[in-house]
Amino acid sequence: MTEIQPWWSNSVFYQVYPRSFQDSNGDGVGDLDGVTSRLDYLADLGVDALWLNPVMVSPMVDHGYDVADPRDVDPLFGGLGALERLIDAAHARNIRVTMDLVPNHSSSQHPWFQAALAAGPGTEQRERYIFRDGTGPGGLHPPNNWVSVFGGHAWTRVVEPDGNPGQWYLHLFDAEQPDLNWENPEIAEDLEKTLRFWLDRGVDGFRIDVAHGMAKPPGLPDMRNPDLPMLTLDDDDPRFNHDDVHDHHRGIRRVLNDYPEAVTIGEIWVFDNEDFAKYLRPDELHLGFNFRLVRAGFDAAEIREAIENSLAAAALADSTPTWCLSNHDVEREVSRYGDGDVGRRRAEAMALVMLALPGTVFVYTGEELGLPNVDLPDEVLQDPTWERSGREERGRDGCRVPMPWSGDRPPYGFSDTADTWLPMPPDWAALTVAAQDADADSTLALYRRAIALRHQRGDVVGRPVEFVDLAPDVVAFRTAGMLCVLNAGASPVPLPAGELLLASAPAVDAVPADAAVWLRLDDH
């Protein structure tokens, strides 16, 4: 490959959940100066870039995914100055900084939505959102059967300025997150201002929230299956992936083209490869999150299929594949794979699989420590899903508990107060960064070695991945002079020939169950 590849095409991104990374001012919530103070840790881990979950001004109903002012940083996170300090300090260490961008909806506290409520039906202020009259006598019922991803109806009825119940507005997420009307050109114009505002301040790109949202089909037809479990999106769901969304991505790309070093990464919950690849056409997004590895169980066939499909989807658009095992919306992989020692061993093995693959990798806050999900008591739950689902779905708080840094009890160096925004478990002393620093066999040590070796392997961009059939319950593939072998079965498998570069568990002449190894291939 002679062409120079963009910086992101082989990068390891670290997803910082700012509330949970490091608190610098003792209020129990992480903030941007906290992130800055931990940059050496991230540099040591070997990451190339950060993705910050939303830090814009927000009432924090959905922890920042409800944006009231898209061109300022919330005081909770330290304001704009704190972001500028973080960008400078990260750049000084050669770490890029990307931000979350939320174009599908705003906060109900956004001045636009407040103006829409005050102006009443039929006004241009209402045209920035998706207001409709209800159905049935007196408009008593919602305009269609769409459900919110967080549970309940996707419509809320407003009280009109005359004091009577009136129109309904659409919100695919919480009622405090009204969907914007992307058919109104003002929305794209304002987003352009937002993009330039941050890019001009040195931000290196954006993770685009609900990138398969934004456009809604004309007439807003009913869902065929509104009873599907939440977050189980099917590819025929009229709420998402309407073809007009591609025009919006082209608009975003035209702005980004003025900043050729900046990247866009779409959150795309679309599983048809051809549909997924459309988002990655040369005039749309640079990268798309592919969630197939997140959805795969610890099962050789599922993992191989996830990898093959992720590669195939990226190849269709001649784009870079992306890999992640978790994020702030899903149960942590240690718990998904069985919790306890087994869950941790499997998560370590999967880290080696992910970090062997060509493309862009995303590591989520605390993943490198092997943190499990936390069972939190009802009274501390904050995710809007909990209430909206009628307290049936506990929501995503369990994967968002703050990072343990040091010490033997909460708040483990995360904050000066033990009253952290989510309580930290009493039994995390062995999981802290300090404890794992002192242990050469820790999950953290494995991540550090794997990322360092990945960097040393140099240019793995665009290298083919060739699967090898070694044994049942084994996933093995060669790429860029290396063989990665994952044993997802119950008994050890013989270690193939080759210099052992790295193993997630002791591997003398066999790859143990629930482990993975990297071997250098002689013929490279």
Catalytic residues: 209, 267
By the rule CB under 6 A, 329 interacts with ligand NOJ: yes
Residue corresponding to tokens 């999900």: 373
Residue 464: is the preceding peptide bond cis (ω within 30°)?
A: no
Which listed residue (31, 209, 237, 368) binds ligand NOJ by CB under 6 A? 209
Residue corresponding to tokens 């400078």: 88
Closest to ligand NOJ by CB, 173 vs 298, is: 173
Closest of 505, 512, 371, 477 to residue 430, by C-alpha: 371
Closest to ligand NOJ by CB, 33 vs 209, is: 209
The CB density around residue 39, as the number of other CB atoms within 10 Å, is: 17
Residue corresponding to tokens 């082209």: 250
Position with the least CB separation from ligand NOJ? 65
Site for ligand NOJ in 142-201 (CB under 6 A): 173
Closest to ligand NOJ by CB, 291 vs 447, is: 291
Would you say 444 and 47 are in contact if contact means Cβ atoms under 8 Å apart? no
Q: How far is the CB of 501 from ligand NOJ (least distance, A)?
A: 34
How far are the Cα atoms of 45, 288, 451, 473 from residue 447, in angstroms, in the given order?
7, 23, 6, 24
**DSSP-assigned letters across all residues of 463-474:** ---EEE--STTE
By the rule CB under 6 A, 386 interacts with ligand NOJ: no
Dihedrals phi, psi of 62, to nearest 5 degrees: -115, 45
Q: How far is the CB of 287 from ligand NOJ (least distance, A)?
A: 15
Q: How far is the CB of 489 from ligand NOJ (least distance, A)?
A: 33
By the rule CB under 6 A, 237 interacts with ligand NOJ: no
Site for ligand NOJ in 102-121 (CB under 6 A): 102
Q: How far is the CB of 238 from ligand NOJ (least distance, A)?
A: 18
Q: Which two tokens stand for residue 290?
A: 């592919």
Q: How far is the CB of 435 from ligand NOJ (least distance, A)?
A: 29
Site for ligand NOJ in 61-80 (CB under 6 A): 62, 65
Alpha-carbon span 464 to 202, nearest angstrom: 34
Closest to ligand NOJ by CB, 265 vs 431, is: 265
Closest of 483, 448, 481 to residue 468, by C-alpha: 483
Q: Which two tokens stand for residue 512?
A: 């143990």
Alpha-carbon span 325 to 294, nearest angstrom: 5
Closest to ligand NOJ by CB, 255 vs 294, is: 294
Could you give the string, one character per residue 396-435, with x where binding to ligand NOJ holds by CB under 6 A and - elsewhere? ----------------------------------------
Footprint of ligand NOJ on this chain (CB under 6 A)? 62, 65, 102, 173, 209-210, 267, 328-329
